[in-house]
């Protein structure tokens, strides 16, 4: 069987996550990278998964690339930028919910579109692309437009495109810019992995059904509306269903939505239907939130 390739685009960061008794664990994580790990885990051996980003030329960047490869993620699409460094974030927990502190303004990943020829080469011939609102938010406006053009070209060539708005208001100039960015991402995707209530509020929708209908009207073929511990709505070709979440003990919600996104996309690429894919994604997410760390 011929090999098939999926890629995720975005920023991997140095993560300082909580452990018991006030200690922290250093790792590497980031929304689309987390999703890529679960995408890799859910796909068969005839698939490869690559990451498209940029890192620096420092020892932490070396360690980050090694960690990616350790998860089975190909790093040929990760550019190295001399003199730059990865971003870093610290997670604190309040009743299992995350509070983030970031150091990312000079992150190398903000230059992931500096070489558009390399970017287009990384997307050439792929079967699936995953990106997020964070991917868009960290880029200068011109680079954001160029990335969307490259993703649209991959889609036109046959790639399935998945987009998770993953709202982070602090990364956008204002709420209007965030809404415009999200709508631009939705305009080039086949699969929207959205979240209630965040995306409902941003787009002014009264509920998950209204949001799914609205996105279908914008040309999005498949919509999943996640709602934490509540059932997720899956909607495709006029068929909708509610899929209950898995019971879980909440330790750390870091990476829960990312694990859902990666697992859902993997299941769909492996031929499972939307309902079964959502059940698989809920199961993986329940395991993720029962442990410390995003991965």
Residue numbers annotated as active site: 258
Alpha-carbon span 18 to 238, nearest angstrom: 43
Alpha-carbon span 136 to 78, nearest angstrom: 17
- Structural contact between residues 236 and 274, judged by C-beta atoms closer than 8 angstroms: yes
State the residue for tokens 């890529």.
36
Handedness of CA 111, 113, 114, 119 (dihedral sign): positive
- Number of helical (H) and strand (E) elements in the chain, helices listed first: 10, 13
Alpha-carbon span 203 to 182, nearest angstrom: 9
Task: Count Cβ atoms within 10 A of the Cβ of residue 204 and give its class: 0-12 exposed, 13-18 middle, 19 or more buried.
Answer: exposed
Alpha-carbon span 11 to 8, nearest angstrom: 10
Strands (E), 137-279: 160-164, 191-195, 222-227, 230-236, 239-243
Count Cα atoms within 13 angstroms, Cβ side, for 45.
1
Alpha-carbon span 207 to 57, nearest angstrom: 46
- Give the N- to C-terminal CA distance of the chain in Å, as an integer: 30
């Amino acid at each position: 069987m011929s090999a098939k390739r999926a890629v995720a685009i975005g920023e991997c960061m140095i993560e300082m996550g909580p452990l018991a008794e006030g200690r922290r664990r250093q790792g590497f994580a980031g929304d689309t990278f987390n999703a890529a790990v679960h995408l890799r885990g859910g796909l068969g051996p005839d698939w490869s998964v690559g990451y498209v980003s940029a890192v620096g030329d420092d020892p932490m960047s070396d360690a980050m690339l090694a960690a990616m490869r350790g998860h089975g993620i190909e790093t040929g699409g990760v550019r190295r930028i001399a003199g730059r460094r990865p971003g870093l974030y610290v997670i604190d927990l309040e009743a299992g919910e995350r509070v983030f502190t970031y150091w990312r303004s000079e992150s190398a990943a903000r230059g992931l579109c500096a070489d558009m020829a390399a970017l287009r080469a990384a997307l050439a011939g792929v079967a699936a692309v995953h990106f997020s609102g964070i991917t868009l938010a960290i880029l200068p406006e011109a680079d954001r437009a160029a990335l969307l053009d490259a993703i649209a070209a991959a889609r036109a060539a046959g790639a399935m495109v998945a987009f998770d708005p993953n709202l982070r208001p602090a990364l956008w100039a204002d709420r209007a810019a965030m809404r415009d960015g999200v709508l631009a991402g939705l305009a080039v995707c086949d699969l929207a992995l959205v979240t209630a209530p965040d995306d409902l509020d941003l787009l002014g929708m009264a509920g998950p059904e209204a949001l799914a209908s609205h996105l279908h009207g914008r040309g999005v073929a498949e919509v999943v509306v996640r709602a934490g511990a509540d059932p997720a709505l899956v909607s495709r070709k006029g068929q909708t269903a509610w899929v209950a979440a898995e019971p879980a003990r909440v330790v750390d919600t870091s990476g829960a939505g990312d694990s859902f996104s990666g697992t859902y996309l993997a299941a769909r690429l492996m031929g499972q239907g939307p309902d079964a894919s959502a059940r698989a994604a809920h199961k993986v997410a329940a395991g993720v939130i029962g442990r410390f760390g995003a991965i």
